[in-house]
Amino acid sequence: MEKVIGIDLGTTNSCVAIVENGIPTVIPNRGGYKTTPSMVAVTEAGKRLVGHIAKRQAITNAENTVYAAKRLIGRKWNSPQVKNSVATSSYRIVQGPHNDVRIVLRDKEYSVSEISAMVLQEMKLIAEDYLGDEVGKAVITVPAYFNDNQRQATKDAGEIAGLDVIRIINEPTAAALSYGFGKNVEKTIAVYDFGGGTFDISILEIGSSGVFKVIATAGDTFLGGEDVDARVIDWLVQGFREEHGMDLRQDRMALQRLKDAAEKAKCELSSVRETEVNLPFIISSGRNEALHLQRTIDRQTLEGLSNDLIERTVDICRQTLADARLAKEDIEEVLLVGGMTRMPKIQLAVAEFFEREPCKGVHPDESVALGAGIQGSALVGDKHDMVLLDVTPHALGIMTQGGYFEELIPQNTTVPTHRTKIFTTSRDNQTAVKIVVMQGESERAEEDELLGEFILTGLRRAQKGTVEIEVNFEINADGIVSVHAKDLETSKEQSIEVTASSGLTRDEIRNMMEGAKDYMVERRSTEEFEAAKQEAERFVGEIERLLPQVEQIVAASDFGRDAIEKARSIVAKARSAIAKRDIATVKGEIEGLSRTHRMFKGVVAKTH
Amino acid sequence: MTDKPSKKHDARPPDPPDDVGENDRPTLNPPFDVEAFARVASAPSEQPRAPSDAPTNRPPPPAGAAEFGLEPRTDRITLTDEIELEKARAQSMARSPRALTSSALSMANARSPSSPHVEPIGASPEGDGPAPVAAPSSIEAAVLDAIGESAPPEITERTIEDPVAEMRERFSLGDYTGALEMSELILAEEPEHLDATECGENCRTVLENMYAARLGSLDRVPMVVVPRAQMRWLSMDHRAGFVLSLIDGSSSVEMILDVSGMPKLDALRILHELVQQKIVSFR
């Protein structure tokens, strides 16, 4: 059966999973971590860094390190989210050629999908290293509130990374899938997802036939564990200032260490009552001496520092339930997702609000990726009861008089689908109508997403409300939305086809794919060379270590001198090939080196 | 061009008696008396200062210096290799506070490009900041305290009339660090200076290669060998502290260079020093 990976492409961390022998498993990266920071950086030397290594230099190389690209993916340049990111990000965000968003790293512009593709490519590599085989297909998760453009941009990112994205699924749905795997669940559940960069609350209905329906979703895309880290950093900086009169924020190296230490302390305080932050030589005193930071932080202090942030998440939960016209009693299970939910204070706050203990059966960091993996496996396997249906993530409709949004296709409608509605003119003698196609849930059209517009002309001059126009919305199996408007009297017709767009053209995507492929070829070749080099250097080292002993042993014989000369020549060739980065020769010399090493070892062993 | 030899420390240990040679000086068995050493090191010298144009007599190392990794001096003048020269230069740069004169280029003014200096909040410009955390029980801390209590170093400036010629001369003599310093000074005044840019780049490349060669393969994984609890008693600056914090036992030298965010040369130099000081070793 073909392998399909499930990827949780998170704002701060990503995770990849697969179903092996019927068991969903998270794949660890080379460092042994099950999550990989969704960070991309370019060093001064032009080298691309992805994951933990990018995170470790995120403050010292802040201008060239992208984090939280997910907040920007598929968004238009003038959206409030983008404006917020422009104001708060350390890296440069500029307007793209299609009113999209571009990120500048070392004077080169990248689309957001391209940046996300670098993270996805890393996840693909992690899976390939683990499986020892190429991976082609993937299921990627996105927040439930993502619109079609954001979903398309995520798909494009997958394509650039060399993945065939067979399905995009909602993160809370994936968590619910992981929770319901192997059980026959029929419940209304809440998924409280407090991650590193965002907070989401979703209410889902799990039906008996395996239907997962998102009833309501809300959140804050600028609220996450990083805000808690920032509070701990503030606390440490303030303490240091009081003790030494120096501001650690003035030094990037100090700030980088503080950031790492704050995050570590926060994580530790989920399991211990107090922990020590010990950062020797953190900053120069300006008198040829370095000062040390050593402070103990306890759980109570951390809770005090993050109390208002936790309260904000509870307020969002309250509002979401109210909007969905649900009572707390309607929620039969609460799933905790995201690393922050390990914090005891958060677990307590959730339990208090929902008046029930949250479920401990799902892994906060892994459940979303596991759900995606389960879905991927079901899509290519025979477990069709677990297959999710493609639904419209948001309602579709048109703008009507007064700036209102008239819904034609409701949210969560299974595709393909079509709906028709009759509208009339709003002014006397109106000869044309403008059909503005929108997506969203707000009654105010201005708060929804504009998908496209067209004008139907040649209407009969008549009193307002008498000319009837039939508007038909149709979504095909590929998710393409067609909108037709027809004057029922004259049968005159106009239409528009709306395709979700990431803001990239096909040509741009193709070029980016080529770039990503080239990068992979180069990276694989470098890795191959490094592996061969290490092996060759190991043999060279061993041979050189044994050489004096062997020389002494075989000095008397001509044959021995010949062997020594040959050994020297092989070592010299290997060294030269390593210096020239000639992978073929290095690989070719390994056998000779190995033989020489064996021979030398044998000679030495015989004489002892 | 005036060239005055600079006097680094007023406080230095008294010279040994004449009849005691360099090699037959009595050695102290460990543990030696730290407090005595500290007192000796911080006591003002009673020797009259040599006039600036008089030949300089090298003082012998203080008693117990060998215990701090200082090699005993011999009467023969030996040429140092570039690594030692570079190390001494770096230490010298780290020790002496530098202030740029308005236009004239000065030897004492060279400033490490990536060593941010953070002024203490509310501290006077003279640097009357708070005292660092001290470790009264440690040998290193006692010595550092002793040095810290001694009079500040006296800095002598040397004006260079033709910095480009000086830079070229240093480069031709193989003094790449000196040539790099000169190129940075020239570029500070004239950022578009082609010769200085080129020479600076060449020096950097040579020095980077030199340190990289000393460290061995960049794939090697360094490890901190000093126990964490004892780390704060070591003698190092905050930049070395930062590089040390990046050493996690799984990252290679190359990865550390990538994440340090420092110029490659600085990071290599610091790593090399950490290895030399036996704070870091390789797997």
Q: What is the pLDDT of residues B238-273, one digit of tens each?
A: 999 999 999 999 899 999 999 998 899 999 999 999
Q: Which of A517-521, B51-55, B181-185 has the lowest mean pLDDT?
A: B51-55
Residue B149 pLDDT > 70, yes or no? no
Is A56 in Cβ contact with B133 (below 8 Å)? no
Closest CA to A482 of A497, A501, A493, A494: A497
The CATH code that applies to domain A396-498 is: 2.60.34.10
Chain B from 96 to 155: CB within 8 A of any A CB: 97, 115-123, 127, 129-130, 132-133, 144, 148
Is residue A545 classed as helix, strand or coil in its secondary structure?
A: helix
Q: With bands split at pLDDT 50, 70 and 90, how would you rate the model's confidence at A418? A: very high
Structural tokens at position B134: 């001290």
Task: Give the ranges where chain B is alpha helix by DSSP (H).
Answer: 34-42, 82-95, 139-149, 163-172, 176-189, 194-215, 238-246, 253-260, 264-276
d(CA A156, CA A111): 11
d(CA B87, CA A277): 32
Q: Where are the beta strands (DSSP E) in A185-231?
A: 187-194, 199-206, 212-220
d(CA A603, CA B193): 61
Is A253 in Cβ contact with B242 (below 8 Å)? yes
Closest CA to A540 of A532, A562, B210, B215: A532
Q: Which letter does DSSP use for residue A478 in this model? A: T
Q: Do A399 and A440 form a contact (C-beta atoms < 8 A)?
A: no
d(CA A147, CA A154): 11
Q: Where are the beta strands (DSSP E) in A259-388?
A: 274-284, 290-298, 333-337
Q: Between B194-215 and B176-189, two packed helices, what is the crossing angle to 10 degrees?
A: 140
* Residue B269: Cβ-neighbour burial (10 angstroms; 0-12, 13-18, 19+): buried
A284: nearest CB among B117, B244, B261 = B117
What number is the average pLDDT over the span B19-41?
43
Q: What is the pLDDT of residue A387?
A: 67
Q: What is the pLDDT of residues B63-78, one digit of tens each?
A: 444 443 344 444 444 4
Q: Long-range contacts: A47-53, Cβ < 8 Å, 24+?
A: A47/B258, A48/A118, A48/A519, A49/B258, A49/B259, A50/A118, A50/A119, A50/A121, A50/A122, A51/A119, A51/A122, A53/B251, A53/B255, A53/B258, A53/B259
Assign domain A4-224+309-386 to a CATH class. alpha beta
Q: With bands split at pLDDT 50, 70 and 90, how would you rate the model's confidence at A216? A: confident
A281: nearest CB among B219, B228, B236 = B236
- What positions of A carry a catalytic annotation? 8, 70, 171, 193
Give the DSSP per-residue string, A89-122.
-SSEEEE-TTS-EEEEETTEEEEHHHHHHHHHHH
Structural tokens at position A348: 């307590």
Q: Which residues contact A477 (CB under 8 A, 6 or more apart)?
A: A390, A415, A416
Q: Which residue has the higher pLDDT, A214 or A555?
A: A214
Q: Between A558-579 and A583-607, two packed helices, what is the crossing angle to 10 degrees?
A: 150
For residue B275, the one-letter residue type is V
* Residue A488: Cβ-neighbour burial (10 angstroms; 0-12, 13-18, 19+): exposed
d(CA B185, CA B183): 5
d(CA A289, CA B132): 7
d(CA B98, CA B87): 18
C-alpha torsion angle, residues A553, A558, A563, A564 (rounded to 10): 60
B241: nearest CB among A252, A281, A537 = A281
Residue A267 pLDDT > 80, yes or no? yes
Q: Which residue has the higher pLDDT, B35 or A125?
A: A125
Q: Which residue has the higher pLDDT, A322 or A183?
A: A322
CA distance A402 to chain B (A): 55
Q: Which residue has the higher pLDDT, B85 or B130?
A: B85
Q: What is the pLDDT of residue B55?
A: 37
Q: What is the pLDDT of residue B23?
A: 41
Residue B121 pLDDT > 60, yes or no? no
Sign of CA dihedral A436, A437, A439, A443: positive
Highest mean pLDDT among A182-186, A218-222, A297-301: A297-301
- B9 and chain A in contact, CB less than 8 A: no
Domains and CATH numbers, chain B: 216-283 (1.10.10.10)
A288: nearest CB among B94, B120, B217 = B94
Residue B47 pLDDT > 50, yes or no? no
Give the DSSP per-residue string, A548-599.
HHHHHHHTT-HHHHHHHHHHHHHHHHHHHHHHTT-HHHHHHHHHHHHHHHHH
Q: What is the pLDDT of residue A409?
A: 93
Q: Which letter does DSSP use for residue B115 in this model? A: -
Residue A606 pLDDT > 90, yes or no? no
d(CA A316, CA A299): 24
Peptide bond into A80 cis (omega under 30): no
For residue A97, the one-letter residue type is P
Partners of residue A283 in chain B, C-beta under 8 Å = 118, 238
For residue A53, the one-letter residue type is I
- B261 and chain A in contact, CB less than 8 A: yes
CA distance B253 to chain A (A): 13
Chain B from 189 to 218: CB within 8 A of any A CB: 217
Rounded to the nearest 5 percent, the helix, strand and coil shares of chain A are 45, 25, 30
d(CA A398, CA A98): 24
Sequence ranges of the domains in chain A: 4-224+309-386, 396-498, 516-607
Best residue in B145, B235, B242 to probe A by mutation, most A CBs within 10 Å? B242
